[in-house]
Chain A
């Protein structure tokens, strides 16, 4: 994808996610601004708007199609979007089947048995 196409698609994603809320809350001060701490309330709309498209893009790069990625971002709070934007790759992703439990339990059971025998 060339650079322009990339910029335009990012913009479209951001607009798709952002527009409905902008319209719905004209002039009403949103609850998210009330319940968020002061530092978060200071964040500008622009920052938010960029983070949402940024996270949607990152989710796409991790194997999702654009619609799925957008739907997922839409269910997140601003705060969640912010924390994902920074460190999506370093966050734990739970996925293991619990086979490894057995290993761990054996190790601990061995320790217990050893203790018991003394």
Chain B
């Protein structure tokens, strides 16, 4: 009851006092969060890893990775994200590390409603908080909320179920620029995913794990079948994995959607040439060359190589 009173107090503080500059998004949640999510959610099965000193980064990451089906411990992740001299983990490395385990990392839009929407759709979210008076950065994992009472539940530090009023959560989170991320298996798409930002997130997986990236592109194309850039990405992963026929099929379909894409034509020509079909390749590369544009020099190189192949 005491808890409820102080919570009500926080809300009063927000509404009556007009302290909305400290927690602007909390005050606007009624409008920004979709009404069917105005309930209570708690992802109780999300594992908990108590952090050892300074290592909230590995602990938070292990929490999310295990939930996405990657069996790792925080100790496994220390060499992947922890920086001894900084006594902490950088945001970019938190995003990069899940890719080494075949997951797609996605930085959420800086919106409280997006954070809650991801939780409601079953995805625990890593948030960066500044808990001190100056700079005391901390990663915690948001795993639930109670909209009615305005409470956020987190796996945080040594506390398996830290309860924080929305206003305070926003205040400590705002100081880190509302930074939040999810890491999902390649056959899933976050609830709040934006088409072009999600595509960049998938493309980032190409180098570290082309197989997982292939799955992620296929999942992407089921949702957004007309996205030519995703088709280019899928074809590139097929090509990198030596699946030339599949790459060709994807690029031919893309060439139907976007007949004037220089990249599609160039990559299709290259793929055909790799299949030993130089004459066919030549038709496509000529079309690409005629279109010009920023990739003209790359196209010219491809053309030279195909010509050399024809002469042999």
Contact = CB atoms under 8 A, between A and B. Distances in A.
A95 B204 contact: no
A93 B56 CA distance: 10
B57 A91 contact: no
B137 A96 contact: yes
Contacts of B93: 72, 76
A1 interface: no
A68 interface: yes
A20 B157 CA distance: 39
Given A35-B200, A62-B86, A111-B13, A29 B295 contact: yes
A87 to B, nearest CB: 10
Given A34-B229, A92-B91, A98-B140, A28 B96 contact: no
Contacts of A103: 132
Interface residues of B, number: 79
B9 A116 contact: yes
B168 A105 contact: yes
B240 interface: yes
Contacts of A109: 6
Contacts of A61: 85
B176 A93 contact: no
A58 to B, nearest CB: 10
Interface residues of A, number: 53
Contact of B207 (A74, A83, A91): A74
Nearest to B204: A77
Interface string A72-92: 101111001001100010011
Contact of B128 (A21, A31, A88, A92): A92
A27 interface: yes
Given A95-B89, A113-B6, A116-B5, A63 B176 contact: no
Interface in B108-149: 128-132, 135-140
